[in-house]
Structure 1
Amino acid sequence: MQKADMVLFDTDIHNEIADQRQLLPFLPEIWHKQWMQAGTGIGMPFFSPVGVLRRDAITESGGTPGSDPSIIVKEHLDLYGFRYGLLNWGRAIEMSIHPDPDYANAIVSAHNDFMETECLTTDSRFRGSIVINHSDPAAAATEIDRMAGRHGFLQAIMCSASRMPFGQRFYHPIYEAAERNGIPIAIHPGTEGRGISGAPTPSGYPTRYMEWHNILPTNYMTHVNSLVCEGVFEKFPKLKFICIEGGISWIPHLMWRMDKNYKGLRASAPWLKGLPSEYIREHFYFTTQPIEEPDNKRHLEYLIEMGGLEDKIMYASDYPHWDFDNPQAVMRAFSPAIRGKIMGENALRLYKVGT
């Protein structure tokens, strides 16, 4: 199944702090009381009967899964033979939808400093994401400038829940900073319908967790559509985006629909110099988790071929969440012709990481 020389790169591992007090040395004192009493302050309205985190990933002391880097190394990196594992935080990503931008900016900065000193130093295979508060683009740009270039940081990451689509010019300072520093921007779901973001669907709130979880990719469609149609990649031609944890089967459908409409409505987006699908293939990457599992395994690969996405999909485990995707199982979803690209080669190329 796995060739001896195949590189495995996990682009989505969620780490946490074990105790909220761990963040205090990195956080201005004015925010200590709020952090200790309220944490991120972003609630979850939907109940998951299976929980969110894997019970077998709880630490020996009963701590939160993902809070002990040594367990991530032993039970994940070593177990499956990963060459690299990208740490994307968990709850810290929520800060983009906190109503207080000053508090949110302080919390994400503290998490980034903690990541640098307490996480990335524990194993040479770890890489990290710069968590930012996208609701304050100027501060987010400053945070990217502060952290980009420090050892181990490969990208900026923000939650996909927002008050407006990401193509709008409100967010452009973030993109300018990312392009200036030569790093991509990743977006991650799970906060839709929470904090100061809007309802998770155009029709309002679903009733239960399963309904909410099923339609998370629709928010990705919104952002991809917006980023392309608003001309973000004409203004920032070197910018790359990664859509984490949104699946992949919806991408060809969106490409086809955008291309068809562009032929009749291109006058409304005169800055576009090509088909929308061309911008998607050039500027977007997507991760496997949660990998779609059609009854006929070949159908998923057909969709990848239809979209021309062989070089744009990267493996992600979502460790230690309940819907974790085992890398051995994901490998079986793809033919040997593209398996190596998806499991590691595409990520190595995007992040410019040596083997």
Structure 2
Amino acid sequence: MPAQPLSDTPTPGWRYKGPIFDADTHLYETPEAFDVYVPAKYKADWGLNYRHADDGQFALHVGNRKVEISADYMTEDFKIPPPGKLHEWLRAQKEGKAEVDMRVPITPTMTDPAERVKVLDAWDVRSSMLYCGNFVSAISYLDEPDPAYAILNAYNRWMLDQWKFNYQNKIFTCPVVTLADLPQAIEQAKWVVANGAKFILMPMGPFNGKAPAHPDHDPFWAILNEAGIGVVFHVSEAIYLKDHMAVWGEPMQKSRLRQTAFMWMHGYSERPVIETLSSFVLLNFFERFPNITLISAENGAEWVPSMLVKMDKVRGMAKNGYWPGGQLKERPSKIFKRHVKIVAYPEDDIGQIVAQTGDADWLLMGSDYPHSEGVEEPRIFADEACKDLTDEDTAKVMYENGMKMAGLPL
């Protein structure tokens, strides 16, 4: 029988009562995560650590550099914003109560796979994808290839120890991989495959002045293609836009709680994810590597319909132009929907998105647990986002699309 919700009695009235595949969950790092495997020569200048900055804020640091976007998120006694309560937390912060009334301790369900499985079972989440915790805020600070690989590889080894990359087919943990240096990226790809990764996480944007899907990077992708690896682009600071933002007077790597609406609109989410995903489609990447699935997580889905229309249009406009990966044999929109999956926001109008694109086969749900921005439990996603969908499409978004993507039986 399916497990019941965490309350003493089942909660009636759910929009969707079936099993769930959760495509957006997170861990919180345990104390040794940022240190245990870091080579000694990189610890002083590149090691990650929490401490009070010169301005008194408690923040994550990369060496001596304060990770601004981490400030004000976690307290020095390692309490965090409550899962699924972003609006309440922001309101409490505005009233000066966030540190007193709304912070909660990190629990074993956020740090230990066996404990996480108990929660997943209680919510009838059959399988889930797991991404890094506070580490994601520091990735843009790893801006030199050799130290970056040293820190990333050390973190990935900790993830493997703590969570495994495939924990009982219930939790697929995503190691962090970068194409900043092709030979080292190839070694990373071999290592994650050898250690059972089903999905990996990559920063959005170009690498070394080239699209990630550029044919020069094909030796890296060939390894992932043979293993059928899925590649996740999770919302994060798209540092490749740093120079562009500067001409607008918008410095990057600032506190998320204090940055402007313009930065939220253009430095995160839609712009970098559209540029990144369209580069794969328009460079004919999937003709060469049909076994790779791309996943966008926590970037929402409202931008997809207009992106598909635009890609189909520019294919015709560029018909006689230069195609580095060769001419496309199909409409870009058709290629996208076959090879790309998008984790929607619970506030997205998924009914309208499906009506505009023609189907729900490329959409996934994500709870963002245990972050405050998400929903308190996964089933709420259907109540908020799937209210205008048919039961058949709701089941696809909440469960079937994710299970098929992971190669698991329904």
TM-score (ref. length: structure 1): 0.82
- 1:272 is matched with 328
Q: Could you report, residue by residue, the CA deviation over 1:40-67 in whole angstroms, capped at 9, with x for unpaired residues?
A: 467555699888995225764x689944
Question: 1:9 aligned to 2:65?
Answer: no
Find the partner of 1:246 among 299, 318, 322: 299
- 2:358 is matched with 308
Structure 1 residues 310 and 316, CA gap change in structure 2 (3 angstroms): same
Question: 1:182 aligned to 2:238?
Answer: no
Please give the alpha-carbon distance, in whole angstroms, between the structure 1 residues aligned to 2:198 and 2:233. Answer: 14
Q: Which amino acid aligns with 1:234?
A: E
Please give the alpha-carbon distance, in whole angstroms, between the structure 2 residues aligned to 1:209 and 1:13. Answer: 26
How far residue 111 of structure 1 moved from its aligned partner, in angstroms, is 2.0
Question: 1:28 aligned to 2:39?
Answer: yes
- 1:258 is matched with 311
Please give the alpha-carbon distance, in whole angstroms, between the structure 1 residues aligned to 2:156 and 2:300. Answer: 27
1:135-284 → structure 2 map (5 Å cutoff): 135-151=180-196, 153-162=197-206, 164=209, 165-193=211-239, 198-199=243-244, 203=248, 205=250, 208-215=259-266, 216-268=269-321, 269=323, 271-284=327-340
Question: 1:116 aligned to 2:160?
Answer: yes
Contact 2:361-2:401 at 8 Å conserved across structures: yes
SS at structure 1 position matched to 2:354: helix
- 1:84 is matched with 127
- 1:297 is matched with none
Contact 1:161-1:197 at 8 Å conserved across structures: no
SS at structure 2 position matched to 1:249: coil
How far residue 329 of structure 1 moved from its aligned partner, in angstroms, is 2.9
Please give the alpha-carbon distance, in whole angstroms, between the structure 1 residues aligned to 2:247 and 2:198. Answer: 33
Structure 1 residues 201 and 253, CA gap change in structure 2 (3 angstroms): farther
Structure 1 residues 352 and 190, CA gap change in structure 2 (3 angstroms): same
Q: Could you report, residue by residue, the CA deviation over 1:247-295 in whole angstroms, capped at 9, with x for unpaired residues?
A: 112111111112122223212235211211121112111112x33445x
Contact 1:69-1:122 at 8 Å conserved across structures: no
Please give the alpha-carbon distance, in whole angstroms, between the structure 2 residues aligned to 1:121 and 1:261. Answer: 39
Please give the alpha-carbon distance, in whole angstroms, between the structure 1 residues aligned to 2:125 and 2:203. Answer: 25
- 1:343 is matched with 398
Q: Which amino acid aligns with 1:331?
A: A
SS at structure 1 position matched to 2:281: helix
Q: Could you report, residue by residue, the CA deviation over 1:164-200 in whole angstroms, capped at 9, with x for unpaired residues?
A: 5433345434322210221111111212248x95545
Please give the alpha-carbon distance, in whole angstroms, between the structure 1 residues aligned to 2:311 and 2:362. Answer: 19
Contact 1:220-1:243 at 8 Å conserved across structures: yes
SS at structure 1 position matched to 2:174: strand
Contact 1:188-1:243 at 8 Å conserved across structures: yes
SS at structure 2 position matched to 1:285: strand
Q: Which amino acid aligns with 2:392?
A: A
How far residue 145 of structure 1 moved from its aligned partner, in angstroms, is 1.2
Find the partner of 2:381 among 314, 318, 330: 330
Please give the alpha-carbon distance, in whole angstroms, between the structure 2 residues aligned to 1:253 and 1:113. Answer: 40
How far residue 312 of structure 1 moved from its aligned partner, in angstroms, is 1.0
Q: Which amino acid aligns with 2:173?
A: G
Please give the alpha-carbon distance, in whole angstroms, between the structure 2 residues aligned to 1:127 and 1:29. Answer: 30
**40-49 vs 228-237, greater mean Cα deviation:** 40-49
- The alignment of Structure 1 onto Structure 2 pairs a total of residues equal to 343
Please give the alpha-carbon distance, in whole angstroms, between the structure 1 residues aligned to 2:273 and 2:284. Answer: 17
Please give the alpha-carbon distance, in whole angstroms, between the structure 2 residues aligned to 1:240 and 1:189. Answer: 17
Contact 2:343-2:365 at 8 Å conserved across structures: yes
Please give the alpha-carbon distance, in whole angstroms, between the structure 2 residues aligned to 1:309 and 1:15. Answer: 32
Contact 2:24-2:369 at 8 Å conserved across structures: yes
Q: Could you report, residue by residue, the CA deviation over 1:106-137 in whole angstroms, capped at 9, with x for unpaired residues?
A: 22222222222212399642221121123223
Please give the alpha-carbon distance, in whole angstroms, between the structure 2 residues aligned to 1:189 and 1:281. Answer: 20
Q: Which amino acid aligns with 1:101?
A: P
1:125-136 → structure 2 map (5 Å cutoff): 125-136=170-181
How far residue 69 of structure 1 moved from its aligned partner, in angstroms, is 4.8
1:52-67 → structure 2 map (5 Å cutoff): 55-56=81-82, 60=105, 66-67=110-111
Q: Which amino acid aligns with 1:166?
A: P
SS at structure 2 position matched to 1:85: strand
Contact 1:156-1:178 at 8 Å conserved across structures: no
Q: Could you report, residue by residue, the CA deviation over 1:180-229 in whole angstroms, capped at 9, with x for unpaired residues?
A: 221111111212248x9554598563782543334421111111221122
Structure 1 residues 50 and 24, CA gap change in structure 2 (3 angstroms): closer
Structure 1 residues 39 and 193, CA gap change in structure 2 (3 angstroms): same
SS at structure 1 position matched to 2:277: helix
How far residue 95 of structure 1 moved from its aligned partner, in angstroms, is 3.5
Question: 1:103 aligned to 2:147?
Answer: yes
How far residue 308 of structure 1 moved from its aligned partner, in angstroms, is 3.5
Question: 1:286 aligned to 2:342?
Answer: yes
